[in-house]
Amino acid sequence: MTTALNAVYILASRRNGTLYVGVTNNLIRRVWEHKQNLTDGFTKKYTVHTLVYYELYSDILHAIAREKEIKKWKRRWKLQLIEKNNPDWKDLYFTL
């Protein structure tokens, strides 16, 4: 994977656990920051560190629009998106 690509991503605390949707221009670095608790906030407070889904975009504006779209979704839609693409809820960080 090229780190120059923009990404929309979903982190989870565990299978069917707390979810976090984010956007970044460097997925490897950003997920590592979440895993290291480098930023105070939601993912640190609720231990949301497992990368369970991501989409890559060449245009940051498209990535931001998609992030906003997914954030508005019902929880079950987000769970279905994860289950469809990552049925075992593996931590995808280690495959980047």
CB 21 within 8 A of CB 9: yes
- The reported pLDDT for the residue numbered 44 is 95
Instruction: Give DSSP secondary structure letters for 46-63.
Output: TT--EEEEEEEESSHHHH
Per-domain residue ranges of the chain: 6-95
Which two structure tokens, joined as six digits, stand for 80? 């279905």
Per-residue pLDDT, 10: 98
Which one, of 12, 26, 30, lies nearest residue 83 by Cα?
Answer: 12
**Yes or no: is domain 6-95 CATH 3.40.1440.10?**
yes
pLDDT at 1 over 60: no
pLDDT value of position 2: 46
pLDDT value, residue 39 = 84
Q: How far is CA 44 from the centre of its chain?
A: 14
Gap between the Cα atoms of 44 and 57, Å rounded? 26
Distance CA 37, CA 85 (A): 26
Q: What digits encode the pLDDT tens for the residues 35-86?
A: 999 989 999 999 999 999 999 999 999 999 999 999 999 999 999 999 999 9
Statement: residue 3 has pLDDT above 70: no
Cβ distance 24 to 30 under 8 Å? Answer: yes
